[in-house]
Chain A
């Protein structure tokens, strides 16, 4: 990796992990994982299911909130703290700044997810007393959540390259909701014909497809995920992130920072 990108990435990571709000969010997610044990106990025969469902849902939703929270401050926070000018006055190009930010935030999200995942596995261990081979699907689900967060943070960066933090958060969250229903959107597009159908199909393919990353229910039932699915989802997440980051670079290149 370009040393300047690595420098921005490292500093972004260091800056992000210092944020106390993140710890609160992670603590809350861990609390929910622990709460899943209690919920599981008042149900019948579904303790493991509840722990996996509730735990992974908490990881996913809190992960999305964290990703949006840290992703929207690309420019505004840096301008507010006047650090952007210091960075850009050095031989750091704007595209390097954006890409470095993305890598730094991705690292932060991976670490956050790792801690939240430990919480889920501890809860699982408490309920089932031992881990089973089928718990590998929980690991796959966690990997997919990381991929999902990769796209969310890329989108947050994209929006923050031209918008205010509040609007960036709204746009990103709206796209997250739309993307979670992307499969339905494509279902609708398939049954509409003519020009409207073409537009609907285009829109359906343009929004991020988060539904493919959500295998929480499958993981709760211990169903294996095909290797090709993991490969395609990885490819998709990388490509979509590349697309959003390229968009962010294009806009950030032209942005007047005065």
Chain B
């Protein structure tokens, strides 16, 4: 081997060895450092400042911040954290950088408002975001829908929800459900069908997988809440007619109140608790239910989760 080749061989070995050792050392440094990682830090909180710093490349920067918001939420959710404090500023920065980027508004309406662990529990920030979105995108029916949705699910302000749906329904391009939702707000705001219609509209009008998945879970929870409300009414009816407590749901079937054993969305049968309440087998598998979990006291469903008070 000539001298030049020998130098190249040694340099290659040193390069590879030092590269490998670098990675090991870096991991050791990471273990020592307790500083929070990216998800916990936000260097600049002003969208206006970032707008100037971006030198006009606001669209790209908005995309970066939007990705960061999604990654942040996903990461915190994945590690079962209830701390989503950066979600609001991240979405705010994203929309200030690009006010016409619609997905952050939709994401905010769903996950900024919901209570932890399913969201950040910041309905007021979500409301501000929606109003900002409408201000900059007055022709987008989705934002009016999201605003109405927020008033309905988080603030229980059916009048304002109706106003938002009505405004959205008047747009040249809108969704067929909007006028129906606007009308229902006046008379049937607290009904299961109204909530179902809202979540179904969310499901069919949005492409984002996380939001659609959230809507599916809410629809499942609505079904459970409605089933349990109905079954508990039957238990009361049984008690009134038979002058005794039914021992199981099968008793309701035996007297012809129901046909077949009712099951939850996971295919597991409901069960009757000794105190007359109906419970699901595993409430952990069905998030957002307001009835049927062992800890729930059987009081009325909670509209904050999108589930109306039982009619």
Q: Which of A78-86, A130-138, A229-237 sits within the interface?
A: A229-237
B19 within 8 Å of A by Cβ?
Answer: yes
How far apart are the CA atoms of A250 and B18 in the complex, in Å? 14
B173 within 8 Å of A by Cβ?
Answer: no
B283 to chain A, nearest CB (A): 29
Identity of the chain A residue whose Cβ is nearest the Cβ of B15 in the assembled complex = A246
In the complex, the answer to whether B22 meets A186 with C-beta atoms within 8 Å is no
In the complex, the answer to whether A209 meets B11 with C-beta atoms within 8 Å is no
Contact A249:B7 (CB < 8 A) given known A183-B38, A240-B22, A243-B19: yes
Identity of the chain B residue whose Cβ is nearest the Cβ of A191 in the assembled complex = B75
Neighbour of A95 across the interface among B11, B15, B23, B71, CB < 8 A: B11
How far apart are the CA atoms of A94 and B71 in the complex, in Å? 48
A64 to chain B, nearest CB (A): 19
A184 within 8 Å of B by Cβ?
Answer: yes
How far apart are the CA atoms of A248 and B29 in the complex, in Å? 26
A-B contacts, CB under 8 A, total: 83
In the bound complex, residues from chain A placing their C-beta under 8 Å from that of B33 are 183, 212, 229
State how many residues of chain B have any CB contact under 8 Å with chain A: 29
In the bound complex, residues from chain B placing their C-beta under 8 Å from that of A94 are 7
How far apart are the CA atoms of A170 and B79 in the complex, in Å? 39
How far apart are the CA atoms of A188 and B38 in the complex, in Å? 7
In the complex, the answer to whether B28 meets A243 with C-beta atoms within 8 Å is no
A124 to chain B, nearest CB (A): 25
How far apart are the CA atoms of A190 and B37 in the complex, in Å? 10
B44 within 8 Å of A by Cβ?
Answer: no
A114 to chain B, nearest CB (A): 25
Neighbour of B71 across the interface among A188, A242, A243, CB < 8 A: A188
Neighbour of A253 across the interface among B7, B15, B22, B35, CB < 8 A: B7
Contact A246:B29 (CB < 8 A) given known A95-B7, A183-B35: no
In the bound complex, residues from chain A placing their C-beta under 8 Å from that of B25 are 232, 235-236, 239
How far apart are the CA atoms of A41 and B4 in the complex, in Å? 60
How far apart are the CA atoms of A257 and B219 in the complex, in Å? 72
Neighbour of B14 across the interface among A212, A229, A240, A242, CB < 8 A: A242
In the complex, the answer to whether B21 meets A239 with C-beta atoms within 8 Å is yes
B8 within 8 Å of A by Cβ?
Answer: yes
In the complex, the answer to whether A236 meets B11 with C-beta atoms within 8 Å is no
A87 to chain B, nearest CB (A): 16
In the bound complex, residues from chain A placing their C-beta under 8 Å from that of B269 are none
Chain A residues at the B interface, C-beta cutoff of 8 Å: 93-95, 183-184, 186-188, 190-191, 205-206, 209, 212, 226, 228-229, 232-233, 235-236, 239-240, 242-243, 246-247, 249-250, 253-254
10 A-B pairs with least C-beta separation: A187-B38, A246-B15, A187-B37, A243-B18, A184-B38, A242-B18, A249-B11, A246-B14, A236-B25, A239-B18
Could you list 12 A-B pairs, sorted by A, with CB under 8 Å?
Answer: A93-B7, A183-B33, A184-B37, A188-B71, A190-B37, A191-B75, A191-B78, A212-B33, A232-B29, A235-B21, A236-B22, A253-B4
